[in-house]
Amino acid sequence: MTVSVLGSGTWGIALTILLANKGTKVVLWSKIESEIEALKADRKNIKNLPGAELPESVELTLDEVYAVKNCNPDLIVFAVASPYVRDTAKLVSPYIQKGQLVVNVAKGIEEKTLDTILDIISEEIPQATTAVLSGPSHAEEVSRLIPTTVVVASASEEAAKKIQDIFMTQTFRVYTSDDVIGVELGGSLKNVIALAAGMSDGLGYGDNTKAALMTRGIAEISRLGKKMGANIETLCGLSGVGDLFVTATSHHSRNWNAGYLIGKGMSVPEAMEEVKQVVEGVYCAKAAKALSEKYDVEMPIVSKVYDILFNNKNVQEAVVELFMRDKTNEHSSVDWRQA
């Protein structure tokens, strides 16, 4: 069994460690020479993954042809950050065989096209069989083999079950699903809500406030998901509520951290620079707002986060405006005539 992991960021390395410790042959590829050279020089000093160690069995390469073709991978894992998925997919597509199994583990929605990550991979690599793996899974914990549970979704039952088998360990439990759009939306849009949760903490607000943001946030994601064909059960599961919970409450979360710094008074560029990693929620906020308009779905938290990020909206003013919106029922199924 050979697995190629494309992308040597924290998530790509964490999954590489997980698979290598299981005894799987892993080829880790990056386009960035400095990243590969740093890993070759010291497998115990991994940026942003303190305490993690890259096993000696892992092959490190800058050669994309070797990574996706010549090493004969049973599975290719797309672990590059969402803004770079399309370019990477275009780069490797000519070398990928028909029927090659590809799983996306990045989270995001492309701003210009409103494509999900799996949409992008399927467009650029139409000959591949694709899936998405997502859930509450901080790389910092997975790299240290701390118990974690995720879900893999694919249009192909065979593909989903094969990926489940490849990743399943005593500390990494994998469920299967056929709801690709639900898993992708939950994993992507929760980053926007996590930014809002971080802002709330940065402002010094309490648990009540964050609970409200998370609960109403998942309601917004569910409304959009329903319009886009997602299963509500999916959004109430690991890739929805589960991923939102971990991302909105943990100091491991780059989205929470960026939001916290903005709540503390930093500008968006300053917060992005301080976090020093790709903050997916900032990229996703534009796409989320565009999707809400395209599908005519009310998403007030997403809208306010967008205004804070891109229209210089004051964070405290945004909170007041959210609370002073027109009065309404908690959910659309309220019907006094049935009481």
| Residues belonging to the active site | 190
Q: What is the rounded CA–CA span in Å between residue 13 and residue 22?
A: 14
Q: What is the rounded CA–CA span in Å between residue 247 and residue 193?
A: 9
Beta pairing class for 75-78 and 101-104: parallel
Sheet (strand 148-153) strand order:
59-61, 25-29, 2-6, 75-78, 101-104, 129-134, 148-153, 172-177
Give the CA angle between residues 153, 156, 160 to the nearest 5°. Answer: 45
DSSP conformation letters of 162-199: HHHHHH--SSEEEEEES-HHHHHHHHHHHHHHHHHHHH
Residue pair 14/143 in contact by the 8 Å Cβ criterion: yes
Strand segments (E) across the chain: 2-6, 25-29, 59-61, 75-78, 101-104, 129-134, 148-153, 172-177
